Structure 1
């Protein structure tokens, strides 16, 4: 997952005085990208469907 330049800049500024919130914007952007793109593609992938079928066979 790639972060946009704005988020990278925010992280660099936050690293001057790190806090528990240093990576909050990065986390939000990554979560959003995964929610909209990566996760749906995974759920619809042949590999995931095969895994589900194999689990159904075991039970």
Structure 2
């Protein structure tokens, strides 16, 4: 499933998927040289946590 990288830190990346859910995945699962704003393909069988809540990064 396609998703857009919302934020990246030293260990994880937050991905906004096409269906509106947010996924937290390890940066080791990202394509090399990925950055915020990139659209990437996330395999559905990747074990991760998904939630339907919006995340406010900037308060």
- TM-score, with normalisation over the residues of structure 1? 0.19
Larger Rg: 1
Greater strand content: 2
- TM-score, with normalisation over the residues of structure 2? 0.19
Flag the structure with more relative contact order, 1 or 2, with Cα contacts below 8 A and sequence separation at least 6.
2
